[in-house]
Amino acid sequence: MASGFAPPKLADFLLTERLGSGTYATVYKAYRKGDSREVVAVKVVSKKSLNKTSMENLLTEIEILKAVRHPHIVQLKDFQWDSENIYLILEWCSGGDLSRFIRSRRILPERVARRFLQQIACALKFLHERNISHLDLKPQNILLSGNVLKLADFGFAQYMSPWDEQSVLRGSPLYMAPEMVCRRQYDARVDLWSVGVILYEALFGRAPFASRSYAELEEKIRSNKPIELPAGARVSRNCRDLLLRLLERDPEVRLTFQHFFSHPFVDLEHMPSAESLGKAKALVVQAVKKDQDGERAAALSLYCSSLEHFVPAIYHETDRQRKEALRQKVSQYASRAEELKALVASENRISFEEAKSATDILREMSRDQPRLLAALDVSSAAIAKEEAGMEDYDTLDLYQQSLGELLLALAAEPQGRRRELLHGEIKSLMTRAEYLKEHIKMRETQTDVSLDRESMAESVRASCCLQ
């Protein structure tokens, strides 16, 4: 490599500031010569520093990056070489890496961490479908371009079928899965552990195995003690569930890729994208039609579903005027949904009152069925919590618990009056649970809409300018 601090010469590019360096490579900011003055990042790899293994890794990196095109993966534009170096010309990402972004804020709000996680998951889904494992996922290898995350540095990446296993040590110890650190056989699931560490660090400002020395780090990794969230951690139930399932030491028990991509916290269905607005509009058209036809409950459900796509659409929109127009539309639909919610609640109250006497009769007829009575006790607890204003996921869980038991009882119940009452009870509880679910969704959507009007996309761009 060129001696001193002067960057090497490249025919078509002017290399300027050094962005970072590792064992084998140094990355520079560069400009394409000529009229376009396109900005790129150039990864310069010294041939002298390459052994047989690192040369194979470099060739695999080039092969993979040439084959993939994805909005959340850094694009390889070209590669060149001369007598001293190999040059990878890569897409320029102006916002630095995720590690710097997290450090500048200490911790990220859950909603921001979730948006970032959705983009990482989207890229991993694309790679997983092509049997590609990154094997070195960490915040330093995830770059920001505006409000878009992009996976970078595929120096350790490999083509790995789901049944392929390896034992070669790859990546950074702080983000390595225990099976890799302990030099056991491992497979593509090591990437899921790394995602869990990244999410943990984004939410709490440090990795779960943060240590003062490598010996301490290795001791923590080799321990059989389950990962715990920091004391007093305030994260949603879905977020907690995902974190603990990703950070499962035993890869056989760890969340699978399929379950990761479909997990409700990842929620790729509602990831901000170019399709978000189209999905929202299609649902709101149906909502308005049901509203006009007087089908209030159906209209409320459709308004809520449309808002779940409108919020990501606002996030995805980059034009300020269109973003503001979308916010106003969303406020209108949210207001109408609130009106419908009050009307539906009033209608439900009458039918719920009627259901109470039927529940009392069902209880009386079920004295010989302790499991059925226990399920009815759980549903009563859910109703009491809801009526006391505790309209949250804990209450919804109680409804779902009782419904699970009652449906099993219904399947075993012979024809007769008790079966009819049980069927009616289940219908009533399902209506309650569905209404509560819509209410929770509505509240979460309103929270998203009413957050600081300066969207996260704009705050990311501002932070990039400061870095």
Instruction: Give per-residue pLDDT as tens, 77-109.
Output: 999 999 889 999 999 999 999 999 999 999 999
Mean pLDDT of 406-435: 90
Q: Which residue has the tokens 């790394």?
A: 194
- Does domain 98-270 correspond to CATH entry 1.10.510.10? yes
**Amino acid occupying residue 189:** R
Mean pLDDT of 423-440: 85
Taking 70 as the threshold, does the pLDDT of residue 203 lie above it? yes
pLDDT tens for 300-355 read: 889 989 988 998 998 888 888 998 899 888 889 988 988 998 888 777 776 667 66
Binding-site positions: 43
Taking 80 as the threshold, does the pLDDT of residue 247 lie above it? yes
pLDDT at 1 (0 to 100): 44
pLDDT at 341 (0 to 100): 84
* Mean per-residue pLDDT over the chain, rounded: 86
Taking 70 as the threshold, does the pLDDT of residue 71 lie above it? yes
Are 71 and 89 in contact, with CB atoms under 8 Å apart? Answer: no
Are 237 and 263 in contact, with CB atoms under 8 Å apart? Answer: no
Count of alpha carbons within 13 Å of 156, Cβ hemisphere only? 17
Mean pLDDT of 287-308: 92
CB atoms near residue 86 (< 10 Å): 20
Taking 50 as the threshold, does the pLDDT of residue 36 lie above it? yes
Are 395 and 436 in contact, with CB atoms under 8 Å apart? Answer: yes
Q: What are the residues facing 227 on neighbouring strands?
A: none
Q: What are the residues facing 18 on neighbouring strands?
A: 28
Torsion, Cα 398 399 400 406, to 10 degrees, reads: 110
CA distance 223 to 182: 11
Distance of CA 467 to the CA centre of its chain: 25
Q: Residues with catalytic annotation?
A: 136
* Predicted model pTM: 0.79
Confidence of residue 69 (pLDDT cuts 50, 70, 90): very high
Are 204 and 149 in contact, with CB atoms under 8 Å apart? Answer: no
Task: Please report, for the chain, the start and end positions of each structural domain, with discontinuous segments joined by +.
Answer: 13-91, 98-270, 276-450
Mean pLDDT of 277-301: 94
For the segment(s) 13-91, the CATH number from 3.30.200.20, 3.40.50.300, 1.10.10.10, 3.40.630.30 is 3.30.200.20
Mean pLDDT of 12-22: 87
Taking 50 as the threshold, does the pLDDT of residue 217 lie above it? yes
Confidence of residue 356 (pLDDT cuts 50, 70, 90): confident
Percent of the chain with pLDDT over 70: 90
Mean pLDDT of 137-149: 92
Binding-site positions for ATP: 43
Q: What are the residues facing 29 on neighbouring strands?
A: 41
pLDDT at 155 (0 to 100): 86
Taking 80 as the threshold, does the pLDDT of residue 382 lie above it? yes
Mean pLDDT of 130-136: 93
Q: Among candidates 157, 149, 159, which has minimal Cα distance to 120?
A: 149
Taking 50 as the threshold, does the pLDDT of residue 16 lie above it? yes
Taking 50 as the threshold, does the pLDDT of residue 388 lie above it? yes
- Fold observed for domain 276-450: Methane Monooxygenase Hydroxylase; Chain G, domain 1 (1.20.58)
Please tell me whether residue 302 adopts helix, strand or coil conformation.
helix
Taking 60 as the threshold, does the pLDDT of residue 163 lie above it? no
Decide whether 98-270 matches 276-450 in CATH topology.
Answer: no
